[in-house]
Amino acid sequence: MKFSTQRQGELYLIAGIFLWSVFPIFAQLSYAVVSPFTSLAVSSLFSALFFGVVLTIRRRWTELFNTQALIYSLYSTFIVGILYYLLYFLSLRYSSAGNVSILALSETFFSFLLFHVWKKEYIPKIHIYGASLILLGAVIILIPSMTMFHIGDVLILIGAAIVPFGNFYVQKARRMVHTETIMFVRGIVGSCVIFLFSLLLHNASSLPQIIRSLPFLMMNGVFILGLSTLLWVEGIHRIPVTKANALSSLGPLITLLFAWIIFKTSPTSWQLLSFIPMFIGVILISKKMAKI
């Protein structure tokens, strides 16, 4: 059975969104044995191995010698592969998978601020409405934290705010080399820096602990940090980015479903209420915007 280009793109995206949606679940499961720093370091290493295999199959190792692309890749690695992933993993330690997944949607709002407000580009009214709805959704989910402070919710918001800067450099690097080259650099450099950081903070887990959590760490690295990225890129080459962003905003619902099944934590009324304006806002603000 042969699928149309449009249907292929939809299938790629749905598969990638599904993988990324279960990321918070597997990350939290790994925390039962290893620290967030170790979980991120080992997961990033497995993602680097995955992209190393892709580079070998596609014979693109020579792209690593593109100096300017390498510099941009290192910038994006520091912002996304180290700072953002650290904040993401730590937020899962101190907040629920559902909260983190929904608040991560605010990345679209911060991208709007970077590329439209900071760069003084024209702002259509529909984008302003969308940004306002995303902000409203973030406020709604933070309301319970006003009586019981959740540091995890704050951490993921900070992470979402810095991601657009990393994507800015990814965009520059992508004009010179392919996605797998950028992601290989991110995985190998990020894993080394984070592991060294965990050693300095005396937060590294022991080898027996890593081995016990290895299945979750491998799935995080290969399928989520690795394969889901490739699926997203392949998807947006086949269908409009607007539709892709709309589909990706359904990810938190999948996360909430799996959290309900695995952790027996049913979605709260605040989570469900906040998702509504977030979902509509992402659709509105995605008009003529690209995700990297």
Which string of DSSP letters, residue by residue, matches 164-206?
Answer: HHHHHHHHHHHTTS-HHHHHHHHHHHHHHHHHHHHHHTT-PPP
Question: Looking at the predicted structure, is the pLDDT value of residue 290 above 50?
Answer: no
Contact 80, 134 (CB under 8 A): no
Which contacts (CB < 8 Å, 24+ apart) does range 2-10 have? 5/238, 6/238, 6/239, 8/238, 9/234, 9/235, 9/236, 9/237, 9/238, 9/239, 9/244, 10/235, 10/239, 10/247
Contact 255, 24 (CB under 8 A): yes
Please compute Rg for the chain using Cα positions: 18
Give the pLDDT mean for 221-232. Answer: 82
pLDDT by residue (tens digit) across 43-89?
899 999 999 999 999 999 999 999 999 999 999 999 988 898 888 88
Tell me the three state secondary structure of residue 106. Answer: helix
Distance CA 271, CA 291 (A): 24
Tell me what pLDDT residue 118 has. Answer: 63
Give the number of other CB atoms < 10 A from CB of residue 167.
Answer: 22
Tell me what pLDDT residue 14 has. Answer: 81
